[in-house]
Structure 1
Amino acid sequence: MTRRPIGIIVNGVTGRMGYRQHLVRSLLAIRDQGGIPLADGTTIWPEPVLVGRSEIRLREIAERHGLTDWTTDLSAALARDDVQIYFDAQVTQQREKAIRQAIEAGKHIYTEKPLAEESAAALDLARAATTAGVRTGVVQDKLFLPGLRKLKRLIDGGFFGRILSVRGEFGYWVFEGDWQPAQRPSWNYRAEDGGGIVMDMFPHWQYVLEELFGQVRAVSCVTATHIPERVDEAGRRYPATADDAAYGIFELDGGIVAQLNSSWCVRVNRDELVEFQVDGTEGSAVAGLRNCRAQHRSVTPKPVWNPDLPVTENFRSQWLEVPDNEEFDNGFKVQWEQFLRHVVADEPFRWDFLAGARGVQLAELGLLSAREQRRVEVPELAR
């Protein structure tokens, strides 16, 4: 078996997502499994080049995993002939400039979302990449969650009949940083640093809604900054200027209405940190990160509203678990494998920069809706 090494710049590897999900659980996991086999007998072998701003942290990560290739000089890394792919997991404000450098260097590009801070910039990146002839991809990891894959199986099997509505709840309580450390970096709560839950989560909701239910045609959104002051990593108080909660209504093809709440200021009273309830004429389902429960029309009970009597039915017990029926790998790793096959073996990959631009567009229009307190239609994006 012939091993085909492929150099991959991993920029932002010292961050939580860049390190945990993309380096350890994706690229190094692919190496641990022996690479990615292709039909012609060759094996794709990722060769990570770690890039970041801190020499100390880069060296520590490299030594921990037996790696030797790291640098703080992105330009030098992009100039290397043995590097074919640039991956970006930096903060959003740094992403557009670095991706433009990668396009100019002729590298194929895979990136975390959002692709850029504005849809016009995201669309320009898509056009520039097409002109340069480089292949592109944007992380859309929620599509590979076991719960949503089970939900997709129900949709594809016609379980719901005509889908009527989708209701989603996402989030948890992020501590303010004073008496307990915050679970998320402080820049997430500063608009001037690219923070905000709309720009963080609406790109996710765009591809989840489009891939599972239909294209988003209009959005109505209310945002809030519920916690006006937080404490940063150095113990300093700072004003929270970014939205930390968003309440959105999305109108989809086929008359489907989706209501999605996203919040860093909510305490969890559900089975998983994200849950989607889908209701259709023939059945309903509730899907989370890993699990999915369903209730068919034929076994739907008939509750009767009577506030004078206590509830005697256990409604949760009336739903059935959707079985796995397959083994689910890490979603980030699965998409990495698909992108590497796309670059090396020309296999299809539909989550390109144009798909990423649609996510940025929805976030941008959601913020416009909240700012102007009105419903906003979502126009088609053309390459």
Structure 2
Amino acid sequence: QLFCQMCVCFVSAQLLYASYLSSGAQMSVGLSEEDRRAVLLRLSPPFEDLFDRAEEHALRVLLEPWTLLLEKLRDYKHTGSIRLCVVHQEHRTAAAPAEGSRAPGLWAKVPREFRGVRLDSLLRNRMELQHFLSFLEENSASLELQCWLDVEQLKKSDGALLEERNTSIKDKYLSSNFLFGPDSPATEEQQMRMCGGWQRLQYESVSLSVLTELQSLLHSRLETRWLPLFLSSSQFIRRQQQKYFLLLISVLVSAPKKPISQVSGGLMSSSQESVALRRALLNPVTRLQFQKFLSVCDDLLENDLLFWLEVQRFKDLCHSRCDDVTLQRKVSIIISCFISSCVPPALQIHVPPDAAQRVVSQQGVLGPYVFRETQACVFDELLKHWPDFVALRSAVGENETKQHKNHRCSSKYHLLCPLKTDMV
């Protein structure tokens, strides 16, 4: 089972490296050559911190669009304005429609966000197409859209089905109830040019060219008369408003209770804090400060930090290709100090007893992942106290500046004063 786990981890790490970090990767995240080489050298065996540098780089890249997204949501909450860039892009096409083809009075009432919406894009959106059809029914104009859709279906037909749909369209639309009626989409001149008038249609079939020209007239009328009325309706605006709001909420669902203005909420902050803590634990000055901070809180917390460091050294040994005897000795020492200690309590770190028992039972099966679960547990415990430490260190720095370093700190502050603040 352990061998299978190692194989899966190795293959996954190779795939991630080849897909996002290697030179020439199609989905490259743009990691620097130095960091890319550092990842490559530690690719076998791969540990959970293998891609820390790549993760930190990705977070820096994502921070700017994440901040912009939060600003949009804050603007939406404070002003109630509709910012529908996403919806706008769904409906836009490459070229803007000619201004002369539009009715200026009707389009002037359409919110600016929707003036790029085209009929063709609306017809490809099944949900909005149904809403548009309902809107036309309410205004006794649904036959215009239905006729356009039926002709579109006829173009995709052949054989008996083509003849059947042709007859259906002729009976339903090319009559005094629609094409030759008082509210026809075609002028009398256009009617005569297309099919020679209603009387002639009684004796002749309808050609595809006639139906195509009728479609063009319907398209123009729908886009110039009914589309702007639909886009300026309160129902359409409300739907797009809700869609955009739900989109933002889905992105921010990881931190629903955080204030909008705080970029430190959600997945972004937790990832940043994880990366910052790992860097701090590998920085001698910051690590010593954090260790002293933890020792005041709880003795086992200091042990958690020391255990994490020893496991990192064990992982470095695995990468150095040292002999199995040395690796086994290191495993035994770590277990005897932190997991099965002769000094009460036997378990000297914050890990579940069952996880500790699994390490003890597997210590004879030598492998690079023997401490993987327990190291993750203590890291999570350390991460809980990291924000308090950062806040304390910041307060100490401000205090030293104000007092010109003449005031001796007390309590926990005293633990940090002898060392200069080292920003992670």
For this structure pair, what is the TM-score category when the shorter chain's length is used for normalisation? under 0.3
TM-score by length of 1: 0.24
Higher RCO, 1 vs 2 (CA within 8 Å, ≥6 residues apart): 1
In terms of fraction of residues, the more strand-rich structure is: 1
Please say which structure displays the higher CA radius of gyration: 2
